Amino acid sequence: MSDYAKDVLVSTEWVAEHLNDENVRLIEVDEDILLYDMGHIPGAVKLDWQRDLWHDTERDFVTADKVSELLGRLGIREDDTVVLYGDKSNWWAAYAYWFLTYSGVQGLKLMNGGRQKWAAEGRELTEEVPSPVPTTYPALTRDESLRAYRDEVKAHLEAVQSGQGAMVDVRSPDEFSGKVTHMPNYPQEGVLRGGHIPGARNIPWAKATNEDGTFKSADELRALYEGEGVTADKDVIAYCRIAERSSHSWFVLRELLGYPKVRNYDGSWTEWGNAVGMPIEKTYREE
């Protein structure tokens, strides 16, 4: 995996070999939050993205202090190598990776291929839930350069138009065109308008993965994005519907390809599509 810009992936083999290492900690983050209870990698703890990362009453993340508390509760120490993995080719594991990186956590890795590859290889899964010894995780400082807010996205439209910036919509072509307002087989999440942010390029997140859930090679990934004009010299913002798929693409661009300026717009289409005064483009026309 050395052709990637950063050393941020580990293989299923590597994880199997390091299951008993004291300073290697596994965290499972699934879209289907019940999967963990049906069997997980021995020693892995569960992170519930709905409960652990989002504020109870505000539509925003928990504070950096709460992230330190969460990591302490999970028994994570500052110098541990934290390996994240999950279902759906690491969708939500990539979301947790982005969120924790944004929160200032260092030493994170993704297990390439995620839960599906581990299971497909017939590796051990257990229902035994570990009881980690709580730690005191140090205070964290947020890195706001990794996150885009709605007004910043609106301001970014000029950079996109002038060729200085790029916007990547990682949703399905039907969502991008405005034909539908949600993914197939998923609930409509209250978005009033279909379409995309003006100037965005549609590069569905799954184009970056192989059938077994692993990431494509650096050369393949570079060709995928450069072919759409999303190059390393541009200021890039990625978005989807609620930022789980765009976190996956953010990981590809920033961590695997080494693009220096990539932000994740976590408000994504659920915010933009409902916001007053925000421009959209729609390419789907009713017959």
Active site residues: 240
The answer to whether 138 touches 203, Cβ cutoff 8 Å, is no
Q: How far is Cα 145 from Cα 159, in angstroms, rounded to an integer? A: 16
The residues with which 237 forms a beta bridge, in sequence order, are 167, 263
The residues with which 201 forms a beta bridge, in sequence order, are 168
The answer to whether 127 touches 43, Cβ cutoff 8 Å, is no
Q: How far is Cα 96 from Cα 15, in angstroms, rounded to an integer? A: 18
Q: 30: closest CA among 52, 1, 8?
A: 52
